[in-house]
Amino acid sequence: MSQVFSRDGVRRLRTPWILLAASIAAAVVLIGGTQVYLQKEQRDARGSEGRLQQARTRVDNIRKERDNLEESAAIYRSLLARGLMQPERRLDVVELMNALRTQHRIFSVDYEMSPQRALTLAGGNAFPSVDILASRVTLRLRALHEGDVLGFIQAVGQSGQGFHPVDRCLMKRIDSAAASEALQPRVEAECGLEWITMKDKRGA
């Protein structure tokens, strides 16, 4: 082995050594160069994958938005038909109470409507494009049967004009001694509801 690395050995093996060095260099350049290029391609591919994902998300979102918009439009048209975006019409309340009292055989209906206010929503929910307004309505009913009371309240809640969700109600029997005579009210109820309307802020 010492002959290989002697002066004469090195001289005689100069060409093979140069060939080996050149081969190593070529191998390093070939592998290293292609690896670098591969990494660049992979980076580009990852970037493309990211853009593809974003494009998919964008298309999905706009499709959902379109679907939501179409669905919302249908709902919104029904809301408009119920007069939700119109100013509060208190005369409708008076007429509604009168009509439902007769319809559900209620002995008496007393109601109070508070001044209209901006409705505070539970959970801190807010809708920045519309003003949600409500008037608190308190009803006091006297009826022969609990079913009449429930029917009346149900009818108020489902009234075709505006939205009036009944959110609390206390229903109790009237003392039997006082209710012994025929056709006397046996049930009385006190219920609360919100008379809700909306206003587009842009139109304000």
Partner 1 sequence: MATHHLYLTNSVLVSLLARRGSITRREFAVDDAGVGEFEAYLRTVARIPARLHVDLSEEDFRADMIPHVGRGDREVIIGRKLGQIYRNAPFRHAIVQGRESEGRRDDRVLYAAITSAEVLKPWLDAIERVEAPLEGMHSAPLLGARLLEALGINHPHTLLVHFSPGEALRQTYFRGTELRLTRLTHIDLNEGQTPGALLAEETTRTWQYLDNLRSFGADDRLEVVILAHPRDHPAIGPSLEGFTQLGYHLLDTDQVSGKIGLKPPARGPGAEELLVHLLDRKPPENHYATPEMRRFATLRSARNAIVTGAIGMLVVGIVGGVLTLARIMTTSERDQQTEREVMDLNRQYDQVRRSMPTYDVAGAAMRDAVGFYGGFIQGFPSMAQFAIPLSAALEAHPAVRLNQLAWQATDDAKAMPALTPQPSRVPPPAKAFARGAEAAVRSPAGEDLSSQPFASGRYEVALVEALVTSPAHDFRGAIAEVEKLAEDIGRIKGYRADVVESPLDLRSSLQLQGRNADREPAQMDARFLLRVVRTRGTT
Window 165-184: residues binding partner 1 (CB under 8 A)? 165-173, 176
CB 142 within 8 A of CB 107: yes
For residue 51, give both structure tokens.
């853009």
Q: Is 128 in the site for partner 1 (CB under 8 A)?
A: yes
Among the listed ranges 53-61, 92-100, 102-110, 178-186, the one in contact with partner 1 (CB under 8 A) is 53-61
Binds partner 1 (CB under 8 A): choice among 121, 145, 178, 184: 121
Question: CA-to-CA distance for 103 and 7, rounded, in angstroms?
Answer: 123
The enclosing H or E element of 194 equals: strand 187-200
- Give the footprint of partner 1 on residues 80-109 (CB under 8 A): 84-85
State in angstroms the smallest separation of the CB of 74 from partner 1: 9
Applying CB under 8 A, the span of 2-10, 88-96, 97-105, 178-186 interacting with partner 1 comes to 2-10
User: Residue for token digits 């070529």?
Assistant: 26
φ/ψ of residue 42, rounded to 5: -65, -40
Kindly tell me which residue out of 142, 163, 185, 195 binds partner 1, with binding defined by CB under 8 A.
163
Q: How far is the CB of 155 from partner 1 (least distance, A)?
A: 10
Q: Which of 108, 114, 145, 184 binds partner 1 (CB under 8 A)?
A: 114
Residues 6+ apart with CB under 8 A from 62: none
Can you tell me which of 98, 99, 103, 127 binds partner 1, judged by CB under 8 A?
Answer: 127
Note whether 49 binds partner 1 by CB under 8 A: yes
Q: Which residue has the tokens 């006297």?
A: 142
CB closer to partner 1, 17 vs 87? 17
Give the range of 35-43, 89-97, 99-107, 178-186 binding partner 1 by CB under 8 A. 35-43
Count of residues of this chain found to bind partner 1 when the rule CB under 8 A is applied = 92
The answer to whether 145 touches 106, Cβ cutoff 8 Å, is no
Beta strand pairing call for 187-200 and 130-143: antiparallel
Q: Please name the amino acid found at residue 87.
A: P
What residues numbered 54-73 form the site for partner 1, per CB under 8 A? 55-56, 58-59, 62-63, 65-66, 68-73
Under the binding rule (CB under 8 A), the answer on residue 133 touching partner 1 is no
Kindly state the tokens that stand for 115.
């001044």
CB atoms within 10 A of CB 89: 14
What is the distance between the alpha carbons of residues 191 and 168, in angstroms, rounded to a whole number? 6
